[in-house]
Every structure is written in C-alpha cells, then in structure tokens.
Amino acid sequence: MGTDVCWELPTLATLIFENQDVTSPLPSEGEAAAVPRADDGNGTPRRIRVTAESMASKQREISVSEFFAKNRHLLGFDNPRKALLTTVKEAVDNALDACEEAGLLPEIWVRIEALAENRFRVSVQDNGPGIVKKQIPLIFGKLLYGSKFHRLRQSRGQQGIGISAAGMYGLLTTGRPVSIVSRTGSKRPVHFYQIQIDTKHNRPEIVNGKGEGVDIPPNDGAAEFLREHQLHWQDVDHGTLVAIELEAKYQRGRGSVDEYLEQTAIANPHVTLHYHDPEGRTHEYPRVAEVLPAEPKEIKPHPYGVELGTLITMLKDSKSGTLGRFLTESFSRISPAVAKRIAQAASLSIRTNPKRLGRAQAEALFQALQNEKVQSPAVDCLSPIGEELILRGMRQMVPGEFYTAVTRPPAVYRGNPFQVEVGLSYGGGPATYRVSKELLEELLAETDARTLRQFLTTTFDGVGPEGADKLLREARLRARMSPGRLKAREREQLFEALRRVNLSEGQTMNVLRYANRVPLLFQAGACAITQTVMSTNWRAYGLTQSRNALPSGPVTLMVHIASVWVPFTSESKEAVAGYPEIQKELRLAFQAVGRRLGMYLRRRDRVKTQGERRNIFLRYLREVADAVAVIRGVDRDEIHAHLMQVAKRVTAAADMKLDEHGNPIMEDGEEDFAGPVLIVPQEEKAVPAAAEKRPGEVQTRLFTDQ
Ligand SMILES: Nc1ncnc2c1ncn2[C@@H]1O[C@H](COP(=O)(O)OP(=O)(O)OP(=O)(O)O)[C@@H](O)[C@H]1O
Ligand SMILES: [Mg+2]
C-alpha cells in the first residue's frame, strides 16, 4: 500500500466490514435550522439545525487506542524515520528494564531488515526473565497496560503505552500483526504469539494457533520453527523477542537508530548490544562494566507531592483502619510520631477511620501534611550511573583530551526524588562530526591521490602528515596503499578510525540528553536540559558563547536525569519539563564541571604561553651573552649559563606536567579539581581548529543541527 493512500489497511477493512460508506465519511446533516448560516458558495444559504437529541445520538466513547491512532505524533510516530527509531527504542527500553528488574546482565539483539523500499521488520530480543503466557496478549495488544505506571521506582518505561503503540503503528501501516516469542525458563516451552490490537476496543486479538498462540516444547528446535516465520530467535533459556513490521525510513545521522544505540551504550556500560542494521552490517557494543547498577527501590509517595484530590481518593480507598495507620502506610517518611503531629495540627484523632473523613477534614489534613516538616524522600529509589562509569563511557565513545563528571546529590520536585549527573569531554571532535561511510567510499573511489597518506592529507580539511599517520596507525593500514584498491574490510577499518579522530573544532557544544538512562534525541529546544545549558554562563569557564545560545568549543556534554517519574513534556518522552528544582540542579552540575574545565584550560594555556616565552629567550640568549662578554670582558659561557638559569626559572610553568587526573606533577600550590577528571595526553594535534570551510572543500560534518 502506497503512502499516498489515506485509508490505512485495518481502518479500511473495519469500514468495509461494518458496511459504512467509505466515500462520504462526513456525518449526514440534520434538519433545517432556524438561523440561516453563511452562504455555501452556490448562492443558497445552508440551513442546519442540530438538536440536543440528534447530538446525543452522536456521542460516543473514544477508546484510548483510537485516540492515539489519530494522534500518533504524540507517541513519536510523526514521520517514517522517527517511527523506526521509536519502535526500536520502545522495545530496547523494555528489554533493558526487564533484565535489570530481574537482576540479569542485559544482552540485547536488535535486527532491522529492509523488506521493501519503505517497509522494515524490527526485531528486538533480550535475555530477560520472559513474560508469562497470560500476560503476552495484554502487554502487546492493549494500550495503557503495564507494570510501571502505578509504582514509584526509576525505570525507563513508565506509561504502559510504549510497545503496544509501536505494534499498533505497525498494524496500521502494514496490516501485519506483532510477533512475540517468550520463554521463562530452560524447562519451559517457548510461547509464540502473533497479536494485533483491536483499535476500536483497545483489546488484543491473537492471530495464530486458532486464537490461542503456539507453544513450542523445550528441546523442540524453536529456532528452526521460528525461522519459518522470519524470526531470528537466539536460543536462550529465558528472554523475549518482539518483531514488528512497519512502514518506515532508514537513514543514518542525527536522530537515527544508530545514534540511539550508540548513546544507549554510553549510558548503560553494563549492557551488551548486537545490532544488525538494514544494510546488513553488524555493530557490536560489548559491555564495559560487569556489574548491574544498584537496584532502585520502590517508594511510597511523599506527602509534599500529593494533591488534595488525590488525597481524598486515597482516603476513600484506604484499607487502613485508622488515620494514623493510613498516614504511615500510604506515605514515605511519616513515622507514627509524625502522623500524630499531623493529625493534631488538623484537629483530628489518629484513631478516626480515614474513610469517614469529610471534605473539610480532608482539606485540613492536606494543609497539615504540607506544613509539617517531613524528611525528604528516601533516595534509594534512584540509580544514577555514577561519575566513574560516566567517565569510562564517555572515554569509550567520545574522543577528547579532558574528561570530568559530576553526580549531584538527590533532590525533589513535586515530591518526586530526582538526581542530575553530567559528564563533560573537551578536546576531541565530538562523535557527531564524522564522515559517513558512503561519503568515504565515494571519496576513495574518486580520488587521484596515489597513496592513502596523500589521500588523507589532501582530502580532509586540516589533516596534516601527523594526523594522517595517526589515522593510519589507528586503522592498521600502510601509508603507501592505493586508496582505490582498499578491500571492504580495510575501508571499514579506515572508516572506524575516522570516527574516532578529531576532524574539526570550533563547533557548538554537543549535548547528549538522557532520562533514566534513555537517550533523548528529539525536541532539544523544548527540553529543560538544553534550555539550562544555554542560560548557563560558559564564558566563565573558557568557552565562547553568545547570549542564550549553546557555547562553542570542542565540548561534548552528557546530561542524565534519573527520577522515579521523569516529567516529560509529552507521551513520546522526548523532552523534560522545566521544573525550577530540576533547572537548579542542572545549573549546579554544569557549574561544577565548568569550573573544572576552566581550571584545566587555564593550566594548559599557561604551559603553552610560558613555553613560547622560553623559546624566545633561548633564541636570543646566545647573542646577549656574546654581546655582554665583549662589552664587560667576562666569560661568555658563564654568563650564558647564568642567563639560561634565569630564563628557565621565570618560565617554570612550561615544565608543568599534569598527571592523568589533571593535577600538576610539580608541587606548585595549585588548587585541586575537587572531583574526578581524566586527562588523555595528546600527540601533536592532527587537525587544527577549522570552523569555517572554504567553498568546494569536503564537508566532513555528517550530522547537522535539527
Ligand atoms: N521484553 C520484556 N520482558 C518482560 N516484560 C516486558 C517486556 N516488554 C514489556 N514488558 C512488560 O510489559 C509492560 C508494558 O510495556 P510498555 O512498553 O507498553 O509500557 P511501559 O514500559 O510500562 O511504559 P512506557 O509506555 O513508558 O514504555 C511493561 O510494564 C513490562 O511489565
Ligand atoms: Mg516501555
């Protein structure tokens, strides 16, 4: 079905089967109205009268799936390219949540197959706990069904919409059901389901096994059986695979599946990812940490976060016999003593039955809850990445010479605990500055350079002989090879090396945003993270910045917000809302990493300027010594040695060496960075700062700003 057809397959089928008139979907007009309406263009005034009764006959309940099918942009399905990413993202986020919750180190297989020009099959498998048979249809065939909405605990998913919405989008655009394979143990059967959502009623329909699904007994060659259904099941003892066919577009670059998976690997160093892309290439992201993040605990709501209406409902639904028990059992941080004080302040007895409280009493209780001094919520519900792992993750993925990270202490917005973490890398071109594989292939084919070294120095802006050698070393290729004769594997090696090497400086700061370890790739402008980066004064830390803009400089900033409930601006979970408490924490974190960056840049510049000063002294000292020897008749070598000593002393900073933590090796009373930093000694810069490109030069920037 082409994209130009407005009726989607299942919608069309419903209309035909229900015998509605597809050609005139507008409702029929009512009786003649008393008040004439505007001219309809034919000269006759249109007269319509709608009575309360005729309106009543048109009132209908709207199912949540019908609503989101119409408003799919709210869920991140606004264009085919984004649809592909959102589908992968929902499945991968669920897989990671499930593994972590079950205490298993996650291993994920992502496979995207191109079936036709605009049609793909996305399949994602995990080694998680699997899903019990009864739950499978509801999870994948019903919107707003999930295990995470009603609890306060940090997880990637929270709404109960994600994967069923992706399945629904697949069904709407291709008419194909979602395939699910799940197993909960080595001695248990493998469940195989094909499910589609009945959009009109928001309920699942099982398509295979006569409406019952299929069970494949253990040791019965599930992988072969599933291969017949185009499913690549990794034979694991427990885990889940979900496969969705959808209309989509695959394109690399900013906001792509590739970028999302790469950024996921940075923030989740305990995950192993295998990615098979639509062009048949495989990408491996092995884990760099062998331990799971600390398990976040589930907490009860904090009294400061509750609203009056919610409190009234909670009182009504309470199963606690007394007000005292209700307060201690429903909220976090309320001890029996605090409960007593709250009840007293509201002029209530702690022995009252909470169900019997009237509206005025509930309001008095609400006020007392807000006024009582209650400890901040427990923070073991949060699981930050940690400074050490952020440094390691960034070092792995983003080239640079200076790295630092800060994890702020937990804070609270609307009663919900949250925590901000920031990692900063300076010096390398950020990961987004890359030559695409296609461009590289084309350049290699087109070049008239005879050697690879010549190709590199003449093709890329600013790559000098040292830069070329560094690239070649990294790619394990010989300098004299002919660029046109590289084998596929060698081209791949060169491409990988180019990804890691600095190709341009002078770009704007690259901000990688994360919420609960999930990369946020869209709506940067609407996100509190970007807005706070822009309103922070980075000039104080040695970067250039125009007012209310992202600073310039070879800087990558990774920002992570962890919370039991991330306040997203929409259901598609792309941007974080700007609560003042969150903005404050962001600003403090930016200032902490900014101060360390400023300190590093000042030290580095001091070494450089003093080095230059010393070079000038050294150049002229010999002549000065000669002249003084002639005029004063003293020994030339002696005076030269003396002058040398003075020159070295006054330019002593040129000798300052920084250890890998950025502290001077020479004791000179410098202040400390006061936090973890990592300094990677740089060889002579391969690529000088080159913000502007001359016309006709090769554009090496693949990702452009949105
Ligand atoms: N791979 C999986 N393994 C085990 N359980 C899963 C898996 N995928 C989904 N689930 C279960 O299905 C539920 C629904 O998933 P869904 O993605 O629709 O919602 P969610 O993850 O709770 O929230 P969100 O809409 O924010 O993603 C999850 O809460 C989880 O309990
Ligand atoms: Mg989910």
Q: Which stretches of 255-399 are assigned E, i.e. beta strand?
A: 272-276, 282-285
State the DSSP H helix or E strand holding residue 694, giving kind and residue range, or none if neither.
Answer: none
pLDDT range class, residue 599, cuts 50, 70, 90: very high
Residue 444 one-letter amino acid: L
Tell me if 276 is assigned to some domain. Answer: no
Q: What is the C-alpha to C-alpha distance for residues 575 and 525, in angstroms, rounded to an integer?
A: 8
Tell me if 76 is assigned to some domain. Answer: yes
The whole domain housing 448 covers 437-500
pLDDT of residue 419: 96
Tell me if 37 is assigned to some domain. Answer: no
Asked if residue 162 has its Cβ within 6 Å of ligand 1, the reply is yes
Query: In the numeric block, which tokens belong to residue 513?
Result: 């945003």
For residues 97 and 147, state if they share a domain.
yes
For residues 495 and 561, state if they share a domain.
no
Q: What is the pLDDT of residues 459-479, one digit of tens each?
A: 765 466 767 888 888 889 999
Asked if residue 159 has its Cβ within 6 Å of ligand 1, the reply is yes
Asked if residue 240 has its Cβ within 6 Å of ligand 1, the reply is yes
Which residue CA neighbors atom 22 of ligand 1 most closely? 160
pLDDT of residue 500: 74
Which residue CA neighbors atom 21 of ligand 1 most closely? 157
Q: Rounded to the nearest whole angstrom, what is the distance from the C-alpha of residue 157 to the centroid of ligand 1? A: 7
Q: Rounded to the nearest whole angstrom, what is the distance from the C-alpha of residue 147 to the centroid of ligand 1? A: 7
Domain finish residue from 371, 392, 416: 371
Identify which has the larger pLDDT, 519 or 305: 519
Question: What CATH number corresponds to the domain at position 115?
Answer: 3.30.565.10
Ligand 1 site-directed mutation target among 149, 163, 184, 571, most atoms within 8 Å of CB: 163
For residues 237 and 120, state if they share a domain.
yes
Q: Of how many residues is the chain composed?
A: 706
- Give the total number of structural domains in the chain: 4
Closest ligand 1 atom to Cα of 94: 8
Asked if residue 88 has its Cβ within 6 Å of ligand 1, the reply is no
Which residue CA neighbors atom 10 of ligand 1 most closely? 94
Asked if residue 106 has its Cβ within 6 Å of ligand 1, the reply is no
Closest ligand 1 atom to Cα of 143: 18
For residues 423 and 471, state if they share a domain.
no
Closest ligand 1 atom to Cα of 164: 18
Asked if residue 157 has its Cβ within 6 Å of ligand 1, the reply is yes
Domain finish residue from 251, 279, 312: 251
pLDDT of residue 577: 96
Asked if residue 92 has its Cβ within 6 Å of ligand 1, the reply is no
pLDDT of residue 690: 27
- 3-state SS track over 323-339: HHHHHHHHCCCCCHHHH
Q: Rounded to the nearest whole angstrom, what is the distance from the C-alpha of residue 170 to the centroid of ligand 1? A: 17
Q: What is the C-alpha to C-alpha distance for residues 113 and 275, in angstroms, rounded to an integer?
A: 11
pLDDT of residue 108: 98
For residues 456 and 365, state if they share a domain.
no
Asked if residue 174 has its Cβ within 6 Å of ligand 1, the reply is no
Question: What CATH number corresponds to the domain at position 481?
Answer: 1.10.8.50
Tell me if 256 is assigned to some domain. Answer: no
In contact, 143 and 168? CB cutoff 8 Å:
yes
Q: What is the pLDDT of residues 61-77, one digit of tens each?
A: 999 989 998 999 999 99
Asked if residue 311 has its Cβ within 6 Å of ligand 1, the reply is no
Which residue CA neighbors atom 4 of ligand 1 most closely? 98
Asked if residue 158 has its Cβ within 6 Å of ligand 1, the reply is yes
Could you say which DSSP state residue 152 is in?
B
Q: Please compute the mean of the pLDDT values over residues 109-134 and round it to a whole number.
A: 97
In percent, the amount of the chain with pLDDT more than 70 equals 83
For residues 583 and 680, state if they share a domain.
yes
Q: What is the pLDDT of residues 329-371, one digit of tens each?
A: 999 999 999 999 999 999 999 999 999 999 999 999 999 999 9
In contact, 518 and 529? CB cutoff 8 Å:
no
pLDDT of residue 47: 67
Closest ligand 1 atom to Cα of 240: 1
pLDDT of residue 521: 92
Tell me if 312 is assigned to some domain. Answer: yes
Asked if residue 277 has its Cβ within 6 Å of ligand 1, the reply is no
Tell me if 665 is assigned to some domain. Answer: yes
How do 518-520 and 214-216 pair as beta strands? unpaired
Q: What is the pLDDT of residues 257-294, one digit of tens each?
A: 988 998 999 899 899 999 999 989 899 999 988 999 99
What are the DSSP calls for 53-111, one per residue?
HHHHHH-----HHHHHHHTGGGGT-SSHHHHHHHHHHHHHHHHHHHHHHTT---EEEEE
For residues 337 and 448, state if they share a domain.
no
Asked if residue 76 has its Cβ within 6 Å of ligand 1, the reply is no
For residues 334 and 246, state if they share a domain.
no
For residues 403 and 318, state if they share a domain.
no
Ligand 1 site-directed mutation target among 140, 148, 179, most atoms within 8 Å of CB: 148
Residue 285: phi and psi, rounded to 5, are -125, 90
pTM, whole model, 2 decimals?
Answer: 0.76
Q: What is the pLDDT of residues 181-207, one digit of tens each?
A: 999 999 999 999 999 999 999 999 999
Asked if residue 128 has its Cβ within 6 Å of ligand 1, the reply is yes
Is the per-residue pLDDT at 39 higher than 80?
no
Q: Rounded to the nearest whole angstrom, what is the distance from the C-alpha of residue 223 to the centroid of ligand 2? A: 26
Q: What is the C-alpha to C-alpha distance for residues 163 and 590, in angstroms, rounded to an integer?
A: 34
Tell me if 172 is assigned to some domain. Answer: yes
For residues 424 and 441, state if they share a domain.
no
Domain finish residue from 227, 251, 275: 251
Closest ligand 1 atom to Cα of 161: 25
Residue 13 one-letter amino acid: A
* Ligand found nearest the CA of 178: 1
Q: Please compute the mean of the pLDDT values over residues 204-215 and round it to a whole number.
A: 95
For residues 128 and 226, state if they share a domain.
yes
Ligand 1 site-directed mutation target among 65, 97, 573, most atoms within 8 Å of CB: 97
The DSSP bridge partners found for residue 273 are 108, 285
In contact, 635 and 366? CB cutoff 8 Å:
no
Tell me if 120 is assigned to some domain. Answer: yes
Q: What is the C-alpha to C-alpha distance for residues 538 and 555, in angstroms, rounded to an integer?
A: 11
For residues 407 and 547, state if they share a domain.
yes
pLDDT of residue 20: 44
Q: What is the C-alpha to C-alpha distance for residues 383 and 406, in angstroms, rounded to an integer?
A: 14
pLDDT of residue 522: 92
Closest ligand 1 atom to Cα of 242: 1
Is the per-residue pLDDT at 411 higher than 70?
yes
Among the residue ranges 86-95, 122-131, 294-303, 361-370, the one predicted with the least confidence is 294-303
Q: Rounded to the nearest whole angstrom, what is the distance from the C-alpha of residue 307 to the centroid of ligand 1? A: 28
In contact, 434 and 253? CB cutoff 8 Å:
no
In contact, 218 and 188? CB cutoff 8 Å:
yes
pLDDT of residue 468: 81
- 608 Cβ partners below 8 Å, 6+ apart? none
Q: Rounded to the nearest whole angstrom, what is the distance from the C-alpha of residue 93 to the centroid of ligand 1? A: 8
Which residue CA neighbors atom 1 of ligand 1 most closely? 95
* Ligand found nearest the CA of 100: 1
Is the per-residue pLDDT at 656 higher than 50?
yes
pLDDT range class, residue 29, cuts 50, 70, 90: very low
pLDDT range class, residue 636, cuts 50, 70, 90: confident
Is the per-residue pLDDT at 81 higher than 80?
yes
Residue 464 to residues 302, 467, 567, Cα–Cα distance (Å): 60, 5, 48
